[in-house]
Amino acid sequence: MENQQKVKSLIDLRLEAKMGGGEKRIASQHSKGKYTARERIDMMLDEGSFEELDMFVTHRCYNFGLENEKYLGDGVITGHGTVDGRIVCIFAQDFTVFGGSLSETMALKICKVMDIAMKLGCPVVGINDSGGARIQEGVTSLAGYAEIFERNILASGVIPQISAIFGPCAGGAVYSPALTDFVLMTEDNSYMFVTGPKVVRSVTGEDISIEDLGGADVHAGKSGVSHFKVSNEEEGSMLIRKLLSYLPQNNLEEAPVSDTTDPIDRLDDSLNSIIPDNPNLPYNMKDIIHSIVDHAEFLEVHRHYARNIIVGFARFNGNSVGIIANQPNFLAGVLDCDASRKAARFVRFCDAFNIPILTLVDVPGFLPGSGQEYAGIIIHGAKLMFAYGEATVPKITITIRKSYGGAHDVMSCKQLRGDFNYAWPTAEIAVMGASGAIEVLEGRNINKITDEAEKTSYIAEKVSEYNEKFANPYQAASYGYIDDIIEPRNTRFRIIRAFEALQTKKVVNPMKKHSNIPL
């Protein structure tokens, strides 16, 4: 009888723990269009796969009357489960308990599940919905944040780390998601900032709303802090599941291979005519991407940020590949500070997790102007060059149209250890465009001509001469900088064959503690 009573007590305690901060607070969470921590975990993981840890942990604080208010689990749900049958560690902050504020014991729970993820070699997903540090606990709460940050840093490049912001994330709390590989935010309900609107107003006098200061639109489109913006939590959970399907469990494994019915040798005749005859006219690079990847499926990362460059994941013959591509449809595909930084981080992620890289090039150069120079375009451009040069995963580069100046070097050229560098017959590889080149090369002769008609004719003749020499890929191919010039409609087949050949690639960088990338 006594043992039965103990079992009943256990069952009652479990039910109590699952109620978080109580029915009233759960109802309040639902009224805001938000799910509870456990509902979010169930939505994210395979049905019935979640195994919870530390359900009975409570805080240890005796300040400001907090000793009289304790909840089992202490504001965060932690454990592990599976996504498509593959193990994932997960934690979800529970806003119904002290507003999800971080305590010493809450930090210990998060650190424990992150340590387990490192031990198992599996991804960790963190769901953030927190009012910040638990003020009553003072410095122990701050120490808890730092313990989490240190684990984020040590896990970087070892296991994939994904952060879902499904509510507030403010103050020191923002730095843990910022240290992870991918950040996802929901419209309307999530926001991130180091200092809130009230502090901003009191210090700077600026009057700004929460949404305008740190909402999903701001961080997905302006700051680049958020890699994904979704309309609701259901969409966010499905997107994270899809993202995980492209990633290996850790840095010692390969990404999973999916079954595909898309033929390797599928041709797309439309690619032969997709490039406009006028080199100044745009086209949509995503049309090319969707045409060549398996089943036209492309998971774009940072879709709303630095839209002059495209990054994301796709599959070729079932194999996961990271794609970086200039976008002529936005700012002519020019490289600027934001685009360089966005692409560099993506290249380094792919390299860390053994994901081959495909680069599609149509870049007229770096964006000129004092604004870019003052913002450090030299350093940001160097980041992208460094990332490509350091990467040891298989790298295929295809020059679609323009590849001018320093931007040619930066976009995974042969000299940055590009494995196979191909070009379409529409490729133009040169130091600069024809008009600019003729101004430099023939400026003195042009200035000597006084008759305007004769001057125009002379410039046109020299531009035509320059284009005949450089507005094609054959000179670069004659030096071996381009391995082959391929028919556009056959691009998919050539990519797949090249990646198949590179499966046994072995390249090791020089021994060092770590590189000193130009940050």
**CA within 13 Å, CB half, 299:** 20
Tell me, yes or no, if 407 is annotated catalytic: yes
Same domain flag for 122 and 220: yes
Tell me, yes or no, if 436 is annotated catalytic: no
Same domain flag for 281 and 132: no
Within a 10 A sphere around the Cβ of 126, how many other Cβ atoms?
25
Residue closest to 352 by CA, chosen among 182, 159, 157: 157
- CA torsion through residues 167, 171, 177, 178, sign: positive
Whole-number Å distance between alpha carbons of 322 and 340: 16
488 burial via Cβ count (<10 Å: 0-12, 13-18, 19+): buried
- Which secondary structure element, helix H or strand E, spans residue 299, and what is its range? strand 298-301
Same domain flag for 450 and 488: no
Q: Which of 17, 170, 407, 427 is catalytic?
A: 407
Question: What DSSP state is assigned to residue 173?
Answer: G
Distance from the first to the final alpha carbon of the chain: 66
Kindly provide the b/e burial profile for residues 244-274, where b requires at least 16 CB atoms within 10 angstroms of the residue's own CB: bbbbbbbeeeebbeeeeeeeeeebbeebeeb
Same domain flag for 92 and 157: yes
The two three-digit tokens of residue 346, written as one number: 């993506």
Same domain flag for 237 and 299: no
Whole-number Å distance between alpha carbons of 312 and 302: 8
Decide if 227 contacts 342 (C-beta within 8 A): no
Q: 191 - beta bridge partners?
A: 168, 215
Total H helices, total E strands in the chain: 19, 17
Q: Categorise residue 71: left if φ over 0, alpha if ψ from -120 to 50, beta otherwise.
A: beta
The pLDDT profile of the chain, 519 residues, written as one tens digit per residue, is 788 889 998 898 898 888 888 889 899 999 988 999 999 999 999 999 999 999 988 888 777 767 777 888 888 999 999 999 999 999 999 999 988 888 889 999 999 999 999 999 999 999 999 888 887 878 888 999 999 999 999 999 999 999 999 999 988 889 999 999 999 999 988 999 998 899 899 999 999 999 999 999 999 999 999 999 999 999 999 999 999 999 999 999 999 999 999 999 999 999 999 999 998 899 999 999 999 999 999 999 999 999 999 999 999 999 999 999 999 999 999 999 999 999 999 999 999 999 999 999 999 999 999 999 999 999 999 999 999 999 999 999 999 999 999 999 999 999 999 999 999 999 999 888 777 788 788 778 788 787 788 778 888 888 788 878 777 899 999 999 999 999 999 999 999 999 999 999 999 999 999 999 998
What phi, psi does 49 have (nearest 5°)?
-95, -10
68 found inside a domain: yes
Same domain flag for 166 and 280: no
- Examine the fold and report which residue of 245, 280, 298 is the final residue of a domain before the chain moves on: 245
Same domain flag for 462 and 477: no
Q: How far are the Cα atoms of 118, 283, 354 from residue 223, in angstroms, in the given order?
A: 30, 26, 28
- Examine the fold and report which residue of 199, 230, 245 is the final residue of a domain before the chain moves on: 245
Q: Which of 121, 318, 406, 436 is catalytic?
A: 406
Same domain flag for 235 and 131: yes
Work out how many domains the chain is built from and give that number: 3
Q: How far are the Cα atoms of 107, 110, 141, 245, 424 from residue 53, in angstroms, in the given order?
A: 14, 10, 21, 25, 55
pTM reported for the whole predicted model: 0.94
| Residues sharing a CB contact under 8 Å with residue 35, sequence separation 6 or more, in sequence order | 29, 43, 166, 233
Same domain flag for 165 and 56: yes
Domain of 445 in residue numbering reads as: 434-470
Residue closest to 514 by CA, chosen among 160, 179, 153: 153
Whole-number Å distance between alpha carbons of 456 and 453: 5
401 found inside a domain: yes
| Residues sharing a CB contact under 8 Å with residue 426, sequence separation 6 or more, in sequence order | 275, 400, 401, 488
224 found inside a domain: yes
Q: Which of 171, 214, 322, 418 is catalytic?
A: 171
160 found inside a domain: yes
Question: What DSSP state is assigned to residue 138?
Answer: T
What was the pLDDT predicted at 159? Answer: 98
What was the pLDDT predicted at 190? Answer: 94
444 found inside a domain: yes
Same domain flag for 446 and 498: no
289 found inside a domain: yes
257 found inside a domain: no
35 found inside a domain: no
- Residue for token pair 């990519």: 495
What was the pLDDT predicted at 460? Answer: 81
Same domain flag for 91 and 234: yes
The CATH number given to whatever domain includes residue 71 is 3.90.226.10
| Residues sharing a CB contact under 8 Å with residue 427, sequence separation 6 or more, in sequence order | 399, 400, 401, 402, 403, 472, 473, 476, 482, 485
- Examine the fold and report which residue of 213, 245, 277 is the final residue of a domain before the chain moves on: 245
What was the pLDDT predicted at 408? Answer: 95
Whole-number Å distance between alpha carbons of 399 and 394: 17
Residue closest to 332 by CA, chosen among 407, 267, 249, 273: 407
Q: Which of 172, 196, 318, 376 is catalytic?
A: 172
Bridging pattern class, strands 228-230 and 182-186: parallel
What was the pLDDT predicted at 468? Answer: 80
Vertex 126: Cα angle to 21 and 140 (nearest 5): 65
Same domain flag for 73 and 222: yes
Decide if 144 contacts 104 (C-beta within 8 A): yes
- Residue for token pair 């942990």: 57
Whole-number Å distance between alpha carbons of 359 and 417: 13
